[in-house]
Structure 1
Amino acid sequence: MPPIQGVGLGLRRELLAPLQQGEQGIDFIEVAPENWIPFGGRLQRQFAEVAAQYPLICHGLSLSIAGPDPLDLVFLNQLKQFFRQHQVHLYSEHLSYCSGQGHLYDLMPVPFCAEAIDYLVPRIRQVQDVLEQELVLENISYYDTPASTLSELEFLGEVLDRADCGLLLDVNNIYVNSVNHSYDASAFLRALPTQRIRYCHVAGHLRQSADLLIDTHGSDVNDPVWALLAEAYAVHGVKPTLLERDFNLPPFADLMTEVEQIRQIQRQASRLNSGAA
């Protein structure tokens, strides 16, 4: 399959109708496979029609790569079948956990420490072996760092290198964490390993207070995140980028305005990078 390029949009049921019409401003779509694997009938036919029109990325919700329970091999094989059926280009998940003798319905932070790395690496490699493809891990937003002895950047880099996996660079999460944990978003971004980045996410967030941002995916992208996205392209090159909007969905035309803003930033970065070369 050719590599993913351009600008994508996360598939929600509310977006099935416009996407079935073959919206020309979208280069790829991203879906949570758990939201589509269980269904048949009309919903599955609609999904298959959309998936046939656009290159497809999957962004999972329930792998729980850092969770205490053994990996769910039945689920992994369902994923593998789904990926092959719909010619999925990439599979990404969160560098976190969401289960422990039951589903927690949230993304829980992982301690940034050597013991967590030692636990994660064989689990990531097992997932890649079962799926026979790379696992791409997202830098998550978090609100506490329990029992951490490493920085987020040290932890993330060690996991990526030792597990030999990819990075989903979530630009909004970097900005949210930089405010909540008082670090330099630009320095963090620039220190990430370019060769590991497979694609980017950009999204909106909620400003709870001056020093507390909540990663909601429920509002428009704001100016500091747009600026950080442009910097990501300048530092790491233009990467395929997905607009995340999970709720408070505006009219489709408004979503397309933000999609076009990503595309404009990509074009500008490509011109600047070409000039620098």
Structure 2
Amino acid sequence: MPSLPKDLSPLLVPAGILSGASLAWTTWSLVDLLGTGPIGITVAAGADIVWASVIVAEARGLRIPVKGVNIVPAIGWAALAAVAGLLVWHGIRSGSTPMAVAGPLLPLGAKVVWLLGLTDMRDPAALTTEEQAVLARMERGLTFEEARHRVEMRRREMDAELYLAEVDVDFQIELSRQDKGRELQRRRSPLELTGPSLAEPPAHRPEPPAEPPAQHDEPTHLLHSSTQVAAAEPPTQQDAPVRGYFGFSAQLTGQQAQRAQAVERVAELLAQDPGLTSAQVAERLNVSAATAKRYLRDARPK
């Protein structure tokens, strides 16, 4: 008998020999039973291939659980029973009782020797079928957890990207608002700085120099004539800035009064609602957001 590797059983050699003999016997018997000539070899070889494949599946530990029971061995025995029944039928039809009795021995013997060889190769310290099933469930659970973790991390990355995008948009909006506020303040600063000096009351302005008294030797009719001409003449360019000065001063004074009233109104609203926001101020006073924020800043107690 040829030597085999340590992990193989010596029973595999007789099992292989019996399998070859069973294949030859079963093929001849079924071809003779069918009476279809050489084409019957396909059916005979197919029957042997079925139960031989089941033996290989059992050797590899294949399991088909049905209600907690592995049906792979049952399939092997069912295939063997079918082949044995055909061999018995062939012996009876041939009129040979010994053939009907001894015919199924070859496939049955090959099946039994294969089972012995597989059992001999099984490690006594190996895990049982139930233990392997438990480990398989744990492995499946671990694989599921890993897949779920990867999906969760992808979701978190998407949420983080969305949050960063929203923060960037808010930052750009706030930056634009601050730039617009500085531009508005820069344009308003000259008016606010020159307003109080232009709005200075006339009492504090220097009086224009008095005209020299008229000469007594000037004729009276010439004096009246010059007075009428002066009254009829339009104001000179030197008088125009004075009138523009007072008009601009009055306009600034009106704007300051209106702003003071708005600030007082906001102070009253703050007294009623300390948590008042610039958006609420803009809605109630019908002003822009920047103006509402300025009013709210001036109305807060320092």
Q: Establish whether TM, by shorter chain, passes 0.5.
A: no
TM-score by length of 1: 0.19
Higher share in strand: 1
Higher helix fraction: Structure 1 or Structure 2?
Answer: 2
Greater RCO structure (CA 8 Å; 6+ sep): 1
